Each structure stands twice: as C-alpha cells, then as structure tokens.
Amino acid sequence: MIAVLAGGVGAARFLRGLMLEVEHQDITSIINTGDDTVLHGLHISPDLDTVTYTLAGAIDPKRGWGLENETWTAMNALSRYANILPNTSHAAPTWFNLGDKDLATHFYRTARLAEGATLSQVTNEIAQAWELALQLVPMTNDSVRTMITLAEDCAAGSAGSQISFQEYFVKHRHSVAVSAVAFVGSETAKPNGLDLLASADSILIAPSNPLVSIAPIRSLAGVDDVLCSRRDSVCAISPIVNGAALKGPADRLLTELGYEPSVVGVAKIYAPICGKLIIDNADAHLASAVEAQGMRCVVTDTIMKSPQVSAALARTALEESR
C-alpha cells in the first residue's frame, strides 16, 4: 500500500503519474480539507474535487481547477443579487466561481452530509461516480478550517485579523501579506488514515504547499508522530523549484512565516517527519544544504509538464520510500 499526503493541483498531477506506475487500488491519498468552505449553503471541498476531477481526466487543463467545458450560468445570474445588500452580508459572493457542472458535486456532497453520511463516505461515493479505483480520503471528517492572519492593514482587513483560506487564496488572489496560519478545529478533529500511515509500504508527500496544504494534515493529532516513526519510509517532493512555487503562494508564505523560500526551507519543515526530499535539477546545487538538515536528497526532474514526467517522478519517490 502507498499513502500519499496531498493538497490540490500539484498533488493531483503527481497522483496521475503514480497511477501510471502502480495498481490504482494500492494507492490511498489523504487529502487536505482545511480549505473546505460553505458557500450558498453548499459544502465545497476544493482539494478533494481538484484531485478527483484531475484523476478522472475531467479537470479544466488551463485553469487547473473545475471541470472542462464548463459553463457559468448560475454564477452569472447571482450577480443580480450581489449589490442588493451592503458589504456586511456574505450572501451572493461571486468571487468564488462555481461552474454549473461542478455544482452537481457540491449538491451531492451537501445532501449526503445533511442526511448523516461522513465526508469519507461521500468522498468515496464521488470517486466511485468518476470511476476512480484509488482511495481518496479526506484528512478528517470533522471541521478544520485554515485561517490566515493578515500581517498588515490591506483590502482584506486590518493587521492581525483572520480571514478564511479561500478569502486569502481566491478573493484576494493570495496577494496580501500573512503573519500566521492556523488550523481551527485541528485540536479536536479525528484524523482519517492513521492506521494506513502506520502500515503503508511507502508514504509520499506530494509536491503541495507545505504550509497550507500539508500542514493542515500534520496538525491533526497523531499524524506527525506516525510519520516521525516511519521517517525512513517517507519521501517528499519539493513544491519549490529554483526559489519559486510553480503555482500559488508557497514561496511568499515561506518567507513571510520565517523560512527560506527554497528547497532548504522545505527541508527544514519536513526534516522531523520525512527521511527523503526530492528536489528539481534546477536546485542541484542545494542538495548538500538539504542533506545538512538530516534528509537524503534526490535530484531529478520534478516539473510535471507531462504524465511521463509525473510517472518518472512517482517511480523515483517509490524507490526512495521503500
């Protein structure tokens, strides 16, 4: 069995490569739900959906999220209601775009949760509807919310105030300075997949944001303990290449939260729980600095511009973690 800790886009591409290498039923991915949100009464799980749609071959390849050949009729119609009320209302938010086809997934998830199903069950059913044979597991069935503390007064709020991850990431396009990240609810939330982490042959950490995609999973009780005890079987792929995130704010967040925006900063975050770090050829000169953190460092091509590159990367990660 192979366990993969995952965020959204980067993880989805990595999993697509892994699926070319091993039997799908041997893969279980534990996926971040810290950026789940409720909008219009609908339970939205962005990372779960990005992974599901990508692995089903239905993701919009340009946007990297949502379904291809999507329409936006409902969201466009919502603009009629957007200016009826003052800004104090959270109704009719049009900054979080939900495609018409995509809505069906949120409808199903919301209705199932309302009738008492767990998020694990629903995630499994949705994966089944998309004919996926690997196991997708939300990191917890309980509510954990990634909250971002603003470093300075800005359009998003005053310094020191907290906004939700989606407000940070989507509404403000991760353009505001951050002083802290918190995972509200993680103290009491029960993690999913701990047994699997304890027994898996390989544990891979996908090239996701270590501070807002992997950290929520690690914030759950017992996860870091298990990873630490399996450290030699844990292999991470750096999402930072040549000092920059391929997508998203990982580089800036590293700097803002006191880490070097480089594979060395990533190594420092993962060293306690992970024995091996895969970095890109572009960062080969930093391999010894990574190893100085007490990790084995593997240098290869990590930019997943094709399924073949993803597959080769997955193969390397598997070899290192076994």
- List interacting residues with a second copy (CB under 8 A): 38-43, 71, 73-75, 77-78, 80-81, 84-85, 89-93, 100-108, 110-112, 114-115, 117, 125-126, 128-130
- Least distance to a second copy, CB of residue 68, Å: 12
- Least distance to a second copy, CB of residue 136, Å: 14
**Other beta carbons less than 10 A from residue 177's beta carbon:** 16
Cβ proximity to a second copy: between 126 and 317 the closer is 126
Q: What is the largest CA-CA distance in the chain?
A: 59
Cβ proximity to a second copy: between 92 and 196 the closer is 92
- Least distance to a second copy, CB of residue 17, Å: 26
Exposure string of 208-220, with b = 16+ CB inside 10 Å and e = fewer, is bbbbbbbbbbbbb
Closest C-alpha to 51, from 108, 124, 1:
124
The tokens for 56 are: 């089903």
- Least distance to a second copy, CB of residue 235, Å: 34
- Least distance to a second copy, CB of residue 234, Å: 34
- Least distance to a second copy, CB of residue 43, Å: 7
Cβ proximity to a second copy: between 145 and 276 the closer is 145
The tokens for 182 are: 């918190």
148 vs 56: CA distance, rounded Å:
31
Cβ proximity to a second copy: between 26 and 100 the closer is 100
Cβ proximity to a second copy: between 110 and 149 the closer is 110
Cβ proximity to a second copy: between 119 and 206 the closer is 119
207-to-36, 155, 230, 316 alpha-carbon distances in Å: 20, 30, 19, 13
Q: Which residue has the tokens 């789940």?
A: 36
β partners of residue 42: 39
Closest C-alpha to 311, from 101, 106, 15:
15
Check: CB of residue 307 under 8 Å from CB of residue 284.
no
